[in-house]
Copies of this chain bind each other. A is one copy, B any other.
Amino acid sequence: MPSIVEVAKRAGVSIATVSNVIRGTKRVSPALQERVQLAIRDLDYYPNELARSLKVKQTRMLVMVLPDITNPFFPEIIRGAEDCAFQRGYFLMTANTDEQIGRERRIVSALRSYRVDGILLASAPGKDISHIESVLRAGLSIVCLDRTVSGIETDAVLLDNVRGAQECVRHLIQAGYRRIAIITGPLKLLTGRERLRGYGDALREADIEPDPALIFEGDFREDSGYRLSKEMLRRRRKPSAIFVCNGVMTLGVLKALEETGMLCPNDIALATFDDLMLDHSFHPHLTTVVQPSYEIGARAATILIDRIEGKLPKEPLVVRIAPTLIVRESTRPRRP
C-alpha cells in the first residue's frame, strides 16, 4: 500500500502539497493538482485513515451496538441510521452483543480503543454498567436506542411504549374484550416495564382491575411466547385476548395457538407489538403496534452526530417516538 510520501515523490512535490490537494485545505496551483491527482491514480493510493485519525483525533466512524441482530425489529433501524450517517459524512457499522452484558463490555471497550466518534447503543440488560460510565467519562458520545441504561443519563431515542401499549389495549377493550392477558418483555428492561404500564393504564381507565394471574413476564424471545401462552391456555379460566409485547414472542404464541387448536379471533383475540413480515402469511392478519423503525434509527444518528459536533446543549436529550396502531382482523369486535 503506497503512502503519501510515495505519491509526493512520484508527483515531485512535498507531502504537504499532496495532503492539500486531497483535502482541499489550501489553494494549490492547477499544474501541481494535476500532477498529484495523476500520481494518486497511478499508484492507486488510498489515504491511511489511521494516520489521519491519529492526528486529527476523530475517526468519523460510528458504531451501532445491538443486543440481538436476529430480531427483525433492528435491521430497519440500522438502515435509518446508516443513511443519516452517510449524509453527514460519517461511516456506520454494526456490532452484536447477543444480549450478553459481557460481550457488550468487550465490544464497547474495543470501540473505545479504536477511538470511534460515537456509539448508538441498545444495551443488554445487566447491572454492571461501569463500562458505559467510564466510556462516557472519557468523552465518547453515546445515544441510547430503544432502551436506556438505567442509572445513566444520556441522549436517547425511545418509543412511546406506554402510549403504544395503552392504545392497543384500549382498542381491545372497545372491541369487547375484558379478560386480556399480557405477555410482557423482561421487566428489567425499560421497554418491558413501560409496555406493562400502558396495559395497566388502559385497563384501569376502563375500570378493570389488572389481574396478576393474567400477567406473564416473557423475555422477548420466541420460546417464552410459546411457553407462556401454552401455560395460560392450559388454565381453566382462559383469557379472551392476549396482548404480546413484541413480534418475536408472537411467533411462539402462534405456534402454541396452533398446537392447542385455538382459532383467532373466534376463540381468542391477539394483538402484538412490531410488524414482522408475517402479517402476510399468517391468517388472520394481526392487530399491531407498529414502530417507525427507520425513523428511530435516523433520529438517533442525527442526535449522535449533533452531539459529536457540539451542536446540542449539555443536558441529555430524550426523544419519544410515537408508534401507530394498525387494527386488523385478529381483534375483530366480539359478538356479545
Residues on A facing B (Cβ under 8 Å): 1, 44, 46-51, 53-54, 59, 61, 63, 69-70, 72, 75-76, 78-79, 82, 86, 91-96, 98, 106-107, 109-110, 112-115, 134, 137-139, 222, 248, 251-252, 254-255, 258, 276-278, 280-283
Contacts and interface: CB of A to CB of B under 8 A. Distances in A.
Contacts of A96: 78-79, 82, 94
16 contacts: A44-B134, A46-B113, A49-B113, A50-B59, A50-B115, A69-B79, A69-B94, A79-B98, A91-B107, A93-B95, A222-B280, A252-B280, A254-B281, A255-B281, A276-B277, A282-B282
Pick the 6 closest A-B CB pairs, nearest first. A93-B93, A255-B280, A254-B281, A49-B113, A70-B75, A94-B94
A312 to B, nearest CB: 21
A78 B72 contact: no
Residue from A86, A91, A114, A137 whose CB has the most chain B CB atoms within 10 Å: A114
Contacts of A278: 251, 277-278, 281-282
Contacts of A54: 48, 50-51, 54
Contacts of A134: 44
A261 B168 CA distance: 30
